[in-house]
Amino acid sequence: MSKKGIAILGSTGSIGVQALEVIEQYPDKFELVVLTAHKNADLLIEQSIKHKPNTVVIVDESLYQKVNDALFEHDIKVYAGEQALAEVTEMKEVKTVLTALVGYSGLIPTIKAIEAGKDIALANKETLVVAGELITKLAQEKGVNIYPVDSEHSAIFQSWVGDFNNKIEKIYLTASGGPFRGKSIDELKQVTVKEALNHPNWEMGAKITIDSASLMNKGLEVIEAKWLFGLKPEQIEVIVHPQSIIHSAIQFEDGSIKAQMGLPDMKIPIQYALTYPSRYKSNFKRFSFMDYPSLTFEKPDPKTFKNLQLAFDALDKGGSMACILNAANEITNQAFLDGKISFLDIANINEEVMNKATFIESPKLDDYINSNDEARQIAQDIVMSKLN
């Protein structure tokens, strides 16, 4: 059997690094074709010398010379820039593109990969939030599969396998609740960046960690689930489950529920997205029921954690609204990380941008691009006005 060619977009991030750990376990099954990074040239060089991809892309063009000088003698092709990032997905050796980029930057490369008929292992949820309708339609037209990497969506997918002909009545999307679970608005006024970065169960990149604290991540995941599984908003229920052991569940029309569970370890969903329908024997740490004598469940609090409500509002509105919310959130998330706004400002500004940005009912690709630009600008202006 020939090896499966993999391109990892965003190999230097949290998901990218774990994907490399998965892939190196199975040298007979996978061939690493492409690695990419934005600015972390040192890690990209180190990964490339170790894993020997055919081609790498460093998105920041000012770092091209450095990466090329280091990899020239290793016979690895080096490209730079956003266009190269999108174009490498088309290489004939690539079978599956793992989109482990963060934020809106994943949109165009994902579209290019689908147009080239590549399967997608999708970690970059923002792409489905921005343009879920366009992406899922395109994937259907091209006969391309989108395999979820996000642990909740992987859990739903894994629970659905064997039941594809049966309708989903609803899904339960589990949420850890993040570091601020149970806090009141008053308590949230004072929380710091350091506290927000301290996630109880998962170690992830900075953006998704802040999104988890603000429940924006769960909101983005609600939208991601709608597009991946073709659901209506009322079929998606968010349940807070602080232990992060049940990764999500499907309820079928006979009332039966199938869930997928295990320790919180992203390597499992990453691996399944690359190996479906097979399961390869792994050396990941095993779960023990005795370590978790009680699994608990709570209702989320969308009044306090308004971002979750905003995501449902964006779904109800449809059109470009989720794109607007995502763009606003990319700015406010970063502004909070940079110490420019408070934690509660994140959702407040996101809401303000949703009210101010131009809404487009039936967006095309150009409209998404313009909506993203406009919403970012509005968010940026509000952030600046808070600084003055």
CB of 272 to ligand NDP, least distance (A): 13
Of the two residues 15 and 188, which places its CB atom closer to ligand NDP in the complex?
15
- The minimum distance between CB 325 and Mg ion, in angstroms, equals 17
37 interacts with, out of Mg ion, ligand NDP, none, CB within 5 to 8 A per kind:
ligand NDP
Q: Which residues contact 165 (CB under 8 A, 6 or more apart)?
A: none
With contact defined as beta carbons under 8 Å apart, do 30 and 270 qualify? no
Say if residues 300 and 175 touch (Cβ distance below 8 Å).
yes
Q: Which does 374 bind (CB under 5 to 8 A by kind): Mg ion, ligand NDP, none?
A: none
**Residue number with the shortest CB distance to ligand NDP?**
13
Nearest approach, Cβ of 216 to ligand NDP (angstroms)? 10
The verdict on 150 binding Mg ion (CB under 5 A) reads yes
3-state secondary structure of 58: strand
Q: Nearest-CB residue to Mg ion?
A: 150
Separation of alpha carbons 158 and 188, rounded Å: 36
Residues that bind ligand NDP (CB under 6 A): 10-16, 37-40, 59, 85, 100-102, 105, 123-126, 150, 202, 204-205, 207-208, 266
Residue 266 binding partner per list Mg ion, ligand NDP, none, with a CB distance cut-off of 5 to 8 Å that depends on partner kind: ligand NDP
For Mg ion, give the closer residue by CB, 89 or 151.
151
**Three-class HEC string of 191-255:** CCHHHHCCCCCCCCCHHHHHHHHCCHHHHHHHHHHHHHHCCCHHHEEEEECCCCCEEEEEEECCC
Smallest distance, Mg ion to C-beta of residue 270, A: 12
Distance CA 106, CA 75 (A): 27
Smaller CB separation from ligand NDP, 160 or 202: 202
**CB of 307 within 8 A of CB of 214?**
yes
Residue 202 contact among ligand NDP, Mg ion, none, beta carbon within 5 to 8 Å by kind: ligand NDP
- Decide whether 68 or 201 has the Cβ nearer to Mg ion: 201
83 binds, among ligand NDP, Mg ion, none (CB under 5 to 8 A by kind): none
Beta strands in the chain (DSSP E): 4-9, 30-37, 55-58, 77-80, 96-99, 119-122, 146-148, 168-175, 236-240, 246-252, 257-261
The residue (of 61 and 141) whose beta carbon lies closer to ligand NDP is 61
* Residue 126 engages Mg ion in binding (rule: CB under 5 A): no
**38 near 60, Cβ under 8 Å?**
yes
**% helix, strand, coil for the chain, step of 5:** 50, 15, 35
**Taking the complex as a whole, how short is the minimal distance between the CB of residue 293 and ligand NDP, in angstroms?**
26
By beta-carbon proximity to ligand NDP, the closer residue of 104 and 343 is 104
Give me the least distance between CB of 124 and Mg ion, in Å please: 12
| 81 versus 264: smaller Cβ distance to Mg ion | 264
| Residues binding Mg ion: number (CB under 5 A) | 3
Q: Is 330 in the site for Mg ion (CB under 5 A)?
A: no
Nearest to Mg ion of 202, 276 (CB atom): 202
> How far is C-alpha 194 from the geometric centre of its chain's CA atoms?
22
CB of 7 vs ligand NDP, minimal distance in Å: 13
For residues 159 and 257, what is the distance between their CA atoms, to the nearest angstrom?
9
Per-residue b or e along 213-251, where b marks 16 or more CB atoms closer than 10 Å to that residue's CB: bbbbbbbbbbbbbbbbbebeeebbebebbbbbbbbbbbb
Q: Which residues bind Mg ion (CB under 5 A)?
A: 150-152
